[in-house]
Amino acid sequence: MTERGVGRFPLPLHDRIPNFAGAEEAARRLIELPEWQAARRIKCNPDAPQRAVRLAALRQGKTVVMAVPRLRAERCFLRLDPRALQGKLAQAATIKGAAALGVPVSPAQIGRIDLVVAGSVAVNESGARLGKGGGYSDLEFALARSLGLVDDDTPVVTTVHELQVLAAAIPMTAHDVPLDVVVTPERVIRVRRRHRRPAAIIWKELSAEQLAQMPALARLAPTRARPARSRG
């Protein structure tokens, strides 16, 4: 993407969900989908290439939910209600604006999610997806699944540049969330799902140290997986 000159600020593109030329056109294609039009509450990643998606949702009166980075808060989601953001929708759609204007809520306060928009580094036409590598997007989905906020029928979509759509296979593990729709500035790719979604959080993949940094998850963890409380 850098070599082809389609990358956008913030730069460099590595170690992040890359922003790309045509992100607004991809968002316009996304909002024409019936899944989008039926949704009232959307969970969206906070990254720059999906800013146009978040803004479109707020302008259409949809509630947008975003995760706090690395889930490192008791109230680990931000809720953006367009009814409370009159005149500030464009600001609220940015990462900094959402942090300033969003209402921090616990996972149980989110409500039913109608559509999930995920940021991607690379995808393929079988619905496999690569994120930044931390696994937080998948963990957020598993957390929502554990609380009954999403299910096997909740649409999961992404917007990417055509260069991010790979012909090669992308390995998928038990905790990875497959995509249902991939939207680029040029086309909409509907996936015949080949990968199963995680039904819940896979606790054995989380260390006590990780749980200690994510208090909302630590509260839900089985007793044997919970971090030990410090004495004193």
User: How many residues can be counted in the chain?
Assistant: 232
Mean pLDDT of 80-97: 95
Mean pLDDT of the chain: 90
From 130, 98, 93, 177, select the one nearest 15 (Cα to Cα).
Answer: 130
Mean pLDDT of 211-221: 87
Is residue 232 very low, low, confident or very high in pLDDT (cuts 50, 70, 90)?
Answer: very low
Which tens digit of pLDDT belongs to each residue from 147-201? 999 999 999 999 999 999 999 999 888 888 999 999 999 999 999 877 788 888 8
Note the pLDDT of residue 231.
34
Q: Indicate the range of 14-28, 30-44, 185-199, 210-224 predicted with least confidence.
A: 210-224
Sketch the domain layout of the chain as residue ranges. Answer: 23-190
Give, in order, the Cα–Cα distances in Å from 194 to each of 24, 71, 81, 126.
Answer: 29, 29, 35, 7
Is residue 116 very low, low, confident or very high in pLDDT (cuts 50, 70, 90)?
Answer: very high
From 159, 118, 160, select the one nearest 140 (Cα to Cα).
Answer: 118
Instruction: Provide the token pair at 163.
Output: 């260069």
Handedness of CA 6, 9, 10, 12 (dihedral sign): positive
Q: How far apart are CA 66 and CA 44, in angstroms?
A: 6
Kindly report the CATH number that applies to the domain delimited by 23-190: 3.40.50.10420
Q: Is the pTM higher than 0.95?
A: no
Q: How far apart are CA 43 and CA 116, in angstroms?
A: 5
Q: How many CA atoms lie within 13 A of 132 on its CB side?
A: 18
Note the pLDDT of residue 112.
96
